[in-house]
Amino acid sequence: MLPGNDKWPESIQALYEQVAGSAPDAVLSSRPQWSEQLAEWVRNATLDEREMAQSAAWSRLDTGSRSPGELLFLLVHCGELLWPYSEAPKELLQRLITRQAQLVQALKDGGQDEAVTPLVRQVEAELAKVVSRYLKRHPEELVTLVSGVRCTFDGKVLRFNDTVEVDLKVLLGSERRVIGRLDQLRALLPYLREGREKLVGFIRERAAKIPWRECRDILEEKLFQLVAAPESRSELRGFLGSYTNGKGEARWCTRASLLLARNLEEGGPLAVIENLSELLAYFEAPVEGLRGAIQALVASIHEDKELERHRLVADKCWEHLEPKKEPGLALVLLWLEERIFRVALRQGAEDSFERRNRARERVRELPVAEALYWLSEECADLWPRFESERRPGADDLSAWRQEVVRRFVKKPVLRKAAIEFFLWCAPDAAASEAELVTLSLVKTSTDRRLLRRLGEHPSTRVRFRVRAINAWLAAGPESAPEPQTPATLTGALRHLRASGAMTLGGGRTWLRDRDLEELLLGAFSRVERDFSARYPEHFREDEARLVTRLLEDLKHEFESIRSDLSILLSQGQPVPLELDLQYRRTREPVEGQPAPESPRPGGVELAFVLKVEVDSFLTTKRAVLVQATKLERRGEGQWAPNIRLAREQVDGLLGQSESSFCLFLVPPSLRAECWLVPARMVRGLMDAQGSLSTVSREGTQRVARSLAQWMTYDLLGLWTGDDRPAVLERAEGNSAQGPDFIVEISVRKTGR
């Protein structure tokens, strides 16, 4: 059957054939007879017949050319034919108005002008009846029904095409949960010719009567659906203007900041980034929307990536920033502009100097502008050197800290700006330097109150560092005279250890020594970073060879840790921690012979056997099972979206011990690191994905921990491990189904 020719019920088929075959000049005279026959049919028709007639009538109104008799019959009687039994047709009102215009033109061409005006009034009444019926049955389909029709609003009634009216009180009804219908009204804002402000006010007033807790979650999802739509700028502004309570939703702000950071890192659509930037500028105190946008910039900026999107967000931040009220944010933005400037200069951008000068011009009126320029340039130049071979020496850093303190310590506004800046923007490699400078800048009770307020900062890095510094400040007597500042960082660490003072935060593990923990974390991070950076060169090697390369580097790093520890100690002091790592392969390949067959379908299994001895009397021995697998490559520069890992392997690990993990060997993504995920969580990811042989790379990255953090805080921190004899026996290679690699780590800690 052709479109637009759905079959009529047999009881009305003859009537419609009579209508379709009538002559144009006899259409008006035949109307009373048609009306009587249709009214008789409506009284006797069954529900199935009505549904069938509704489908046939709409198909003929929707498509195809129709005679004047058909148009007259369908439009004048659409109230009897178009019953809202099924879902609302798309653009129903627009199509009916178009057909009405065709009918009027046909009557005028036939010389029947006198009958046009009363006929139009009758048709308009029928159109209003049809729209009202559909809205009563399908109130959530308002936009679908009237899409494409311009409308006006006088404060009570919506008028479409100046004739069809919808009373909003009737549409919304008396239900408390009307947020979906209000959202339909909000979607009409782009089509309004008059009364936009009145409609926004009506939505805002009605939304204020709904308990915010009931509608907050629904509105949050609708908001971020709009944000993710590329062409939704006008709808987004209408949404933000309609629901003013959202300006104080900290959860919305945090989510927008995280999404903005992710889109900046992954090169998301420009329209989405613009929407997120505008959304973050919408929040009001106490919600830190502007800080959320700048946090996304700080967390995502990398000098090896294209920074055009970062420039866009930075411009939006400058538009909403008041430097006199927030000199700290001005300093952070200046530092970001310095980094963008250096990248643009290397890329040969023509406007690099012009953009840098514009940024400086925004803060030129501040009395402390020159100090902010100086610090932003210094840090943009110094901090990248911490992660390279050009790391400055201890004496150089000591002199630099003294210069920063000399320039910033005298003015409270500079101290406030610098404290937030150092805690926020300093990379992890320069964390110790940032905290030492911060301690030197905290001089008054006002500065300490600022530190406490920074404990609620959007950045987790700031919150973590603030907790450590506040703990250190609270541990010492406030009335004690300030000690003489040591000349070097090494001297400062020696002074802290010799005097028995706790380091910042007292450490995060049972070692209770943050210096040792940072030393271990830095050593493991170097190995992990180098391995991940070289992975694209060695990805064709099997897992056994890759794991051997990784373990060999870890072994050398354990040996170098001993010499690094001696730097922290004065002459004659005992080494507080003795570390040793040895590994062996249980199935060594013999040259000239095929490699021994592994009992596993893929990857290799490692067993970390950790033995800890404290003060020669407290000992523990435990094992951790790790399944290692690699990410495969798909074409030049493309990596597979999933990592091969059999579910039976994961189940096998969990069947032996809950202290089981999966190690994923991957190239650099957001950071150069290897991923560690608990086997139980990997099993959950595979269940959610519905896969028996793979696990999603994106899902794994989202829940993973780096190898360096896992070894420092989980393994050596004794937060994981199984000390059951059966597990230890298998981990030490005393079983035929034992691991491929056995990694033995011994830790011996002496008294202070």
Structure tokens, 321: 């920033």
Residue 494, in any domain of the structure = no
Query: Is residue 492 predicted with pLDDT exceeding 70?
Result: no
CA distance 49 to 42: 10
Any idea which residue has 């690099």 for tokens? 352
Mean pLDDT value of segment 118-130: 81
Question: What amino acid is encoded at 51 in this protein?
Answer: E
Query: Is residue 504 predicted with pLDDT exceeding 50?
Result: no
Please give the pLDDT value at position 423: 92
Give yes or no for a contact between 727 and 610, defined as CB atoms under 8 angstroms apart.
no
Using pLDDT thresholds of 50, 70 and 90, give the confidence band for residue 711: very high
Q: Structural domain tally of the chain?
A: 3
Residue 269, in any domain of the structure = no
Residue 236, in any domain of the structure = no
The region of weakest confidence among 84-93, 166-175, 285-294, 388-397 is 166-175
The residue among 244, 173, 185, 250 whose CA lies nearest residue 212 is 244
Query: Is residue 1 predicted with pLDDT exceeding 50?
Result: no
Same domain assignment for residues 417 and 562: no
The residue among 326, 315, 416, 409 whose CA lies nearest residue 363 is 326
Please give the pLDDT value at position 456: 86
- What's the predicted TM-score (pTM) here? 0.52
What is the DSSP code (8-state) at residue 672? S
Query: Is residue 707 predicted with pLDDT exceeding 90?
Result: yes
CA distance 415 to 439: 11
Query: Is residue 476 predicted with pLDDT exceeding 60?
Result: no
Residue 163, in any domain of the structure = no
Same domain assignment for residues 567 and 705: yes
Mean pLDDT value of segment 373-382: 91
Same domain assignment for residues 106 and 18: yes
Query: Is residue 153 predicted with pLDDT exceeding 80?
Result: yes
CA distance 34 to 711: 86
Looking at per-residue confidence, does 735 or 499 come out higher? 735
CA distance 554 to 648: 29
Range of the domain at 546: 515-586+600-749
Mean pLDDT value of segment 358-385: 90
Same domain assignment for residues 465 and 520: no
For residue 116, give the H/E element and its range: helix 116-137
Mean pLDDT value of segment 344-362: 87
Please give the pLDDT value at position 43: 85
What backbone phi and psi angles, to 5 degrees, belong to 349? -65, 140
CA distance 293 to 276: 8
What would the pLDDT profile of 315-326 be if each residue is shown by its tens digit? Answer: 888 888 888 888
Using pLDDT thresholds of 50, 70 and 90, give the confidence band for residue 502: very low
Angle at 144 between CA 140 and CA 148, to 5 degrees: 140
Query: Is residue 484 predicted with pLDDT exceeding 60?
Result: no
Looking at per-residue confidence, does 161 or 460 come out higher? 460
Give yes or no for a contact between 562 and 740, defined as CB atoms under 8 angstroms apart.
no
Peptide bond into 32 cis (omega under 30): no
Query: Is residue 498 predicted with pLDDT exceeding 60?
Result: no
**Domain end position, chosen among 99, 116, 149:** 149
Please give the pLDDT value at position 664: 95
Give yes or no for a contact between 446 and 431, defined as CB atoms under 8 angstroms apart.
no
Mean pLDDT value of segment 637-666: 91
Same domain assignment for residues 547 and 640: yes
The region of weakest confidence among 115-129, 354-368, 669-683 is 115-129
Distance of CA 735 to the CA centre of its chain: 46
Same domain assignment for residues 724 and 656: yes
Using pLDDT thresholds of 50, 70 and 90, give the confidence band for residue 478: very low
Any idea which residue has 């907050």 for tokens? 216
Same domain assignment for residues 411 and 538: no
Same domain assignment for residues 461 and 552: no
Please give the pLDDT value at position 275: 86
Same domain assignment for residues 525 and 611: yes
Burial of 428 (0-12, 13-18, 19+ CB in 10 A): middle
Residue 300, in any domain of the structure = no
Query: Is residue 657 predicted with pLDDT exceeding 80?
Result: yes
Pairing outcome for strands 642-644 and 675-678: unpaired
What would the pLDDT profile of 426-451 be if each residue is shown by its tens digit? Answer: 988 888 888 889 988 988 888 888 88
Using pLDDT thresholds of 50, 70 and 90, give the confidence band for residue 677: very high
Structure tokens, 325: 């009220």
Average pLDDT along the chain: 82
E strand spans, 543-659: 577-585, 604-614, 618-630, 642-644
Residue 558, in any domain of the structure = yes
Strand order in the sheet with 660-665: 577-585, 741-749, 604-614, 618-630, 660-665, 675-678, 705-706
**Domain end position, chosen among 109, 127, 149:** 149
Please give the pLDDT value at position 574: 65
What would the pLDDT profile of 585-623 be if each residue is shown by its tens digit? Answer: 987 765 655 556 566 677 899 999 999 988 766 788 999
Same domain assignment for residues 435 and 376: yes
What is the DSSP code (8-state) at residue 722? B
Please give the pLDDT value at position 628: 95
Using pLDDT thresholds of 50, 70 and 90, give the confidence band for residue 665: very high
Same domain assignment for residues 566 and 466: no
CA distance 193 to 202: 16
The residue among 535, 544, 704, 701 whose CA lies nearest residue 632 is 535
Structure tokens, 239: 């949404």
Any idea which residue has 């340039």 for tokens? 377
CA distance 221 to 566: 55
The residue among 221, 223, 303, 299 whose CA lies nearest residue 263 is 299
Query: Is residue 661 predicted with pLDDT exceeding 90?
Result: yes
Residue 32, in any domain of the structure = yes
Please give the pLDDT value at position 271: 87
Query: Is residue 422 predicted with pLDDT exceeding 60?
Result: yes
Using pLDDT thresholds of 50, 70 and 90, give the confidence band for residue 278: confident
**Domain end position, chosen among 130, 149, 168:** 149
Helix, strand or coil, per DSSP, at residue 72: helix
Please give the pLDDT value at position 511: 80
Residue 110, in any domain of the structure = yes
Please give the pLDDT value at position 485: 52
Looking at per-residue confidence, does 3 or 552 come out higher? 552
Angle at 671 between CA 669 and CA 674, to 5 degrees: 80
Residues 6+ apart with CB under 8 A from 23: none
Mean pLDDT value of segment 396-403: 88
Same domain assignment for residues 536 and 447: no
% of the chain exceeding 70 in pLDDT: 89
